[in-house]
Every structure is written in C-alpha cells, then in structure tokens.
A and B are shown apart, each in its own frame.
Chain A
Amino acid sequence: MAEQEYTIGEKTIVLEGTKKIPIYIMGKRYEVLEGLTIMKALEFAGYQIKRGCGCRAGICGACATVYRLKDDYRLRFGLACQTTVEPEMYLTQIPFVPANKTTYNMDEITPDVSTIEKLYPETFRCLACNTCTKACPMEIPVMDYIQALMRGDIAKAAELSHSCIMCGMCSMRCPAEIQHFHVAMLARRLYGKYVQPKAEHLAKRVEQIKAGKFDWMLDELESLSDEELRQRYKDREWEPEPYDPAWKPQDTKYLILE
C-alpha cells in the first residue's frame, strides 16, 4: 500500500512558500501562517486555549470571537474554529457570556406569549435594530425570531432559531439587553413539547415495552449461541432504501402489529 504518499494526520499542512501574516491577539502582534483558522492561529502563536475552545467544528458555541479589520470601523463576529485569519486582524475571544437563564417547570407553562412575558419580559424591549442578526455567526435571523415571539408565534421562533449554538453574541450586542439565546431555547422546548404533534407510534411502543411484550424475543436472542445469532443476523429482512411506503415485511414474527 502506498500510504506514505499521503498525509492522514491532524496537523495542518502548509504548502511551501506560504506567507506569514500579522494578526493582533488582544492587541499583541503575532506573525501567523496564512490560511489558518483563528483557533489554529492562536495555537500557532503559542496559546494553550482553556476557555474559548470546544468542538473545533462550528457547533458548540465556545469560541465566539470579535474582530475588526484594518481601516474598517465595522465590528465583526465569527467562530474561531471556522474563520480564516486575515492580515492585520484585531481580535479577541469572548471567554464567557453573562446572561440569566430563568428556571421553569416545563409541565406548568403554556406555549404562548404570556409565558414569554413572564419568564423573559425584556424580550418586548426589542428596538428592531437588527444588531443581533448581524452578530450571529450562524446566520440566524435573530431579530425575526424575537419579533415572532413578541407576536406569540412560538413555532416560527423555534424553527428560525433551530441552528442556534448559544454562543451569546446576540445578547452581548443587544441595546435592549434581551437574552435571545435563552428565550429561543424556551421557545424551542415549548414547540417540541406542546406545538409539534406527539408521535403516537412512540407512545404505543413505550406501552408495549413497559407491558413486557418484547421480553420473549430478547430472552430468545440472549439464549442463542453465537452461531445461531450470526445466522439470524444474516437472515434479517432488509427494508429497502430509499424509503418505500409500499414496503411490507414478509416476516412478522418479531413485530407487534396492533
């Protein structure tokens, strides 16, 4: 095998002749390789990151970074693990976002505007300035979901905010001091619990399991020899792909069809 010809490791590979560019980390100048993400540039510069690093894949919200570019007044926002460094970038990571999550009992609240008014009253201070949306590294229309909540449209707010990673940049920027990422969390849970219809097949299956209806099948599997188990595995009837609504299994012995 010609494995040596390729690189498979974690280390970033930089082509011969790659330039170094200056960036400013909390005001200090470092020369880092072009093409690195901000996170890898921090490490290249010698930082052992404690706060400000999580999944390194753009989904956890730990590495929110604010920066300005040379000769540009605009304040920019990005995830350190997803944003490539630019020359003369002035940056800092935000180690923590002070915000108050209220507590609630999900069984005692209702999916409507009154819940939002009670738990996050500041939501209604929205000035419709759209600063939150501009601060979102996930390109969520933050202001739109806040406006939806003010109208009591829980479903809309839940759907619009679904890809929120709760980095908190919206709430750091908001002149009305709204705590967007927490109120959106509440909206999504209200939607999942009360607005989306329940899965009836799931409730039924839970009852069947609690009634012990599958126990004999599992007892049987546990008692089989390895050889017999392998045979059963090989003989499994295969549901077609992609999904075919007309498909019906031939073998129904190990199903409960009520």
Chain B
Amino acid sequence: MKKSGYPESLQESLANVEKTRSERLKEAKKQKYFPKLSPDEYREVLEKYHPDYKPEERKPLQVGPNKGDMLQPELLAVLQGRPWLEPGSFEARLKSPDLSTDVLVIGGGGAGSAAALLAAENGADVLMVTKLRHGDANTVMAEGGIQAADLPYDSPYFHFLDVIGGGHFTNDKKLVRALVTDGPLVIKWLEDLGMMFDKEPDGTMKELKGGGLCRRRMHSSADMTGSEIMRVLRDEVRNREDKIRVLEFCAAIELLLDEDGAIGGAVFYNLDTEEYIVVKARAVILATGGSGRLHLHGYATTNHYGATGDGLALAYRLGVPLKNMKYAQFHPTGAVFPEQCVGMLITEKVRTLGGEPVNYHGERFCYPLEPRDVEASLFIRECLERGNGVVTPTGRVGIWLDSPMIDMLHGEGTVAKALAGKYLQFKRYGIDIAKEPMLIFPTLHYQNGGLEINEYGETKVPGLFAAGEVAGGVHGDNRLMGNSLLDTNVFGRRAGAKAAEFAKQRQEVKTLTLKHIEKYLKELEAAGIEPEIQSPVVLPDYRHQEVVEG
C-alpha cells in the first residue's frame, strides 16, 4: 500500500479522485472547467444553501441606529451587551487620564499599523493600543494575496466592477472607488517599504486571478502575503518610536466622548495587571478587526483569537450605524481534516493555481472560482443536499481540494514553494499536499460589513474613525479574495492621514464623559433587554467545553 496521510475509511474516495485526475488535468490544460453560473443564478443558490441566508435563525436588533435589523443571535448579544464600566462610579477616573495623545489607534493589525504610520507621517503623536501583541490580527492569516489593478490589461474600472458585482451591488460606491484607486498606490508604498512580492526576474509582479476576478490582479508573497505585510508594517511602526508609542495587551472596553459629543479617548483594560487605563485623545481610529470568534451559527472560523467584534460594540453604543452586517463571509475552503486543523484557512490561491474542488466520486461539480459566497454555497449543496461529501472519522463532512494538480500543471515543487506555509502545516500531520488532496468545508471567515464610514474613514462621531474589517460598505454583502488586505491598507492610510489633520485642527478636548453608557443602558431597559453577556467580549472562552464526545 502506498503511503497516505489519510485513514483507511477515506481511501476509497481518495482512489476516486486519483482515477479522474488525469482526465480533469487534460481539461484544465485546455482551460475547460465546470461551467460558471450566471449572475442570475447566484441568488437562488445563496438563498437555498448559504448559512447566513436562512431567515429563521435571526432576531431583530432592539436598540440603536440599526434597530429592527434582523441579525444573528451571537452578534445581538455583543451589540446589546452589558458595558464593563458603571458610569456613575467610573466618571471620577476620567478627570485624570493616564495617557494622552493626538491620535489614538485602537488595534495593532494591518489597518491600525497603516493608520499609525500615516498619522505619524502627517505630524501627529500616535498611541497605538492593542489587545494582544502588535501584529496579532486576521491580517497575518491572509494568505493568498492583495489586489490592485496595475497590469496593462487591467484598470481600476475592472477592479471596481469586480468588487461591486462580487458584493451583489450593495457596496458603497464612494468606498469602492477609494479602494480601487488607492490599490496601486498601496502596493507601491509596500514595495518601497521593502515588502517581498512574488516577482518575475525583471520585476514584473507575478499576478493571479481569484474568485470573481475578470483579470489577473492578485499580488502575493508566497502563501504568507498577510504575514509579510504585517511584518513589514510592524517593523516600520517600531522604527518610528519617536512618533508612535505601542501599548500591548490592553483591551479597549469603552470609548469616551467629550461634553460636546466629539470623541475624547477610550478606556482600556490591562490584561496583565487587570487595571483600567484612561486615554485622552484628539482623534481615535478604531481598527479592531472582525468577529469570526463569535462563531455565528456555531461555525468553525479561520479567524484570529482576538476577532470578537469589540469595535462594533464600542462604536454602536455611541450611535455609529452598521452597514452590510446581514451576511458574514463563509470561506469555501476551511480544513476539516485532521481534527486538529478544523476551521483553518486553506487559501483561495490553491484554486487560482489550478487545484480544483471535487466530490466523493472524484467528480467536478462547480466552477472552481465563483465569488466566495456562491462557491461556499455550492460546496454545502454538494455535501448536504446531494450527499456527495466525504465523511471524516469524527463525523465531519467535506469535499476534496485537489492540490496535486498544481505540480502537474506548473511543475514539480510548485506546491512546496507557492504554498509553503500550508505545505508545512499538513506535513506536520503526515499529509503531503503535493501528492494528496485536502479535505475542506466552508468556514466562518470575514465580517463583510461593519461600521458606517465615508471615504476618509470618518464615522458620524466627530473625530472617530474606523478602518479595516470593523468598517463596512466597501465589500457590500460579499468580499472578494485579496480585497481585505487592500482594504486595511487603503482605509488605514486614509483614516490615519485624516485623523492627524482632525487632531491638528481640533480645539482642546473638553471634559470627558460616559453619558453615552447611561443613555444606552436606559435604551436597553426600555426595550426590555437583559444583557446576556459583558461586551466587548475581548477574549473567547474555550475552557473545558471545547471538547464534546462525538
């Protein structure tokens, strides 16, 4: 018997995949795939199979500017949660802030770091406060790439169309325009900062397509694109210690307004000493990231430990509206085997390089690069409705992602090089993904929507900005691959520059207050809501109950 990383129970299906591979390979070389759906067919597939299109699992939000929106219970608990602070007893602490700054950046991921750099460049003193380490963010986990229309046969025009079509025409056009226009500027900025891009010997960017892209536009740094961006940005932030202070392991638990209703700072909880820290600031940028760790519908997630939607809760209490929060993104390809890797992201780059999804029988059943929500829905249909999924020893279901095709299409060694991170991860569990496929199923990946901002990252609260995954509207109801790394950089930079300008022009910050909490608590009471949890969540709690007998 040949060496396999998979147990006996999966061998029959693996043999099916191998049997059909040479035929599928021939087709792929001729650019023949399972046919794409037409955009008109998307809606039907989504409504029937997408985990977030089911109306029965939703309830109305009962307070705040989005009152009446039907949201997932996990999100409602956070948005209608119990604040950490008692406004009455804490108010006195606000008179003596522990720290003060021009621009306070909350969050130390891609958006926060880009914002800090641009705020500093525009003359502001910056304090970056982050809940975990600087760089702990979904940014490091983005594998496949970053989009920007910089090749001759591409233009921001096509990037715009791809973004807005992928988002089902629910995007904010001004934000899309900012995204696609700044795209090449961001790539150039990163290149000048010394980011290692995958390039041809003459310097031309090696660019690939991704789901829903009509042109090649995806820049990469092996399969560690986000990690490389984060490393470079963090290193540069640390080079600017004259202008940027960084405070780690302090979680934002409340925003502060001044008595005129403009932003005034924030209160943090030091996770090490368990003490509060009051920060006074002339401008605040929320770059707290996403919310995958809320596990909508109980789904596994690709997200970072800290992705608990804190920024949404903080800003919503101040009256900042939410946009496009209806549908979260379920990434089509999350690992379901081995059990230790469940939920882990398998980059879309596997499919852009030619690794195609096939079912139990080794058959093609969908176009490999539909927009993510459509692709995920088609995988779910194949497993749950058509019964063509592969069942793991622990009772999970998935389909194969045929990564061995990649070396056959592009030459031996491509997988080990272009997908170095993933190759090593599976190797640890005895699976050689250059020779055997991966078993995958959709996993909760991205927030899609978030706080309402304009093209400068401004929210409706004067002096409060938001950038990155915490903000909404850029991607509409569905984000395309490679646009989140771009989003964090584009809107991080824009918010940083604008916040510096705001801070410079601002008069003194008036007396800090927590009146908004009093108002919010009254609203909850009037709606008859007894908060289920303390919010923001800060860290997910996986003690004991993570393991269930199956």
A contacts, CB < 8 Å to B: 1-3, 5-16, 33, 35-37, 40, 43-44, 46-51, 53-60, 62, 82-84, 101, 103-106, 138-139, 158, 162-166, 185-186, 188-194, 196-203, 205-206, 209, 214, 217-218, 221-222, 226, 229-230, 232-234, 236-244, 247-249, 254-257
Contact = CB atoms under 8 A, between A and B. Distances in A.
Contacts of A237: 214
A257 B154 CA distance: 10
A229 B177 CA distance: 14
B241 to A, nearest CB: 6
B214 A236 contact: yes
Interface stretch (B315-323, B341-349, B499-507): B341-349
Which 8 residue pairs spanning A and B have beta carbons closest together? A189-B194, A197-B203, A193-B194, A13-B550, A233-B165, A192-B194, A13-B394, A254-B157
Given A192-B194, A214-B156, A239-B214, A59 B136 contact: no
A238 to B, nearest CB: 5
Given A201-B151, A229-B169, A196 B157 contact: no
Given A6-B396, A54-B132, A239 B196 contact: no
Interface string B337-364: 0011011110000001110000000000
Given A56-B305, A193-B193, A8 B141 contact: no
Given A6-B391, A163-B421, A202 B193 contact: no
Given A54-B132, A106-B193, A13 B548 contact: yes
A242 B352 CA distance: 8
Interface residues of B, number: 118
Interface centre among A3, A185, A196, A238 (most CB of B within 10 A): A196
Interface stretch (B14-22, B96-104, B280-288, B293-301): B293-301
B196 to A, nearest CB: 4
Contacts of A247: 153
Contacts of B394: 7, 13-15
Given A199-B187, A242-B354, 11 more contacts: A1-B384, A6-B389, A16-B550, A40-B547, A162-B222, A191-B196, A193-B192, A196-B203, A199-B205, A226-B169, A229-B164
B6 interface: no
Contacts of B193: 106, 189, 192-193
Nearest to B185: A206
Contact of A10 (B149, B184, B236, B342): B342
Contacts of A3: 384
A168 B49 CA distance: 44
B177 A218 contact: yes
A60 B231 CA distance: 10
Contacts of B122: none
16 contacts: A12-B546, A12-B547, A12-B548, A13-B394, A40-B547, A44-B543, A44-B544, A105-B239, A106-B236, A163-B222, A192-B197, A198-B203, A214-B155, A218-B180, A221-B157, A241-B369
Contact of B224 (A163, A191, A217): A163
Interface centre among B155, B169, B231 (most CB of A within 10 A): B155
A218 B424 contact: no
Nearest to A233: B165
Contacts of A222: 173-174, 177
Interface string B468-510: 0000000000000000000000000000000000000000000
A9 B298 contact: yes
Contacts of B157: 214, 217-218, 221, 254
A60 B162 CA distance: 31
Contact of B194 (A51, A188, A248): A188
A51 B249 contact: yes
B168 to A, nearest CB: 10
A222 B194 CA distance: 35
B247 interface: no
Interface in B368-391: 369, 383-385, 387, 389, 391
Interface string B382-415: 0111010101011111000000000001000000
Interface in B256-310: 271-272, 295, 298-302, 304-306
B524 interface: no
A201 B548 contact: no
Contacts of B238: 101, 103
Given A48-B543, A214-B155, A222-B177, A10 B299 contact: yes
A43 B224 contact: no
B541 A48 contact: yes
Contact of B149 (A105, A166, A205, A229): A205
A150 to B, nearest CB: 21
Contacts of B113: none
A192 to B, nearest CB: 4
B45 interface: no
Contacts of B249: 50-51
B309 to A, nearest CB: 16
A190 B135 CA distance: 21
Contacts of A48: 539, 541, 543
B387 A185 contact: no
B460 interface: no
A199 B199 contact: yes
Contacts of B31: 240-242, 244
B133 A10 contact: no
A244 B541 CA distance: 49
B391 A10 contact: no
Given A196-B203, A199-B191, A217-B156, A62 B271 contact: no
A257 B545 CA distance: 59
A209 B184 contact: yes
B217 to A, nearest CB: 9
B241 A103 contact: yes
B79 to A, nearest CB: 21
B155 A199 contact: no
A256 B227 CA distance: 32
A232 B214 CA distance: 12
B365 interface: no
B511 interface: no
B195 interface: yes
Given A50-B539, A60-B136, A10 B173 contact: no
A214 B339 CA distance: 49
Contacts of B340: 35-37, 40, 82, 84
Contact of B161 (A47, A106, A233): A233
Contact of B343 (A10, A229, A238): A10
Interface string B508-550: 0000000000000000000000000000000101111111111
B435 interface: no
B471 to A, nearest CB: 20
Contacts of A47: 543
A230 B547 CA distance: 47
B35 interface: no
Given A56-B304, A103-B239, A105-B239, A82 B428 contact: yes
A209 B304 contact: no
A10 B441 CA distance: 12
Q: Which of A8, A49, A205, A254 has the most CB of B within 10 A?
A: A8
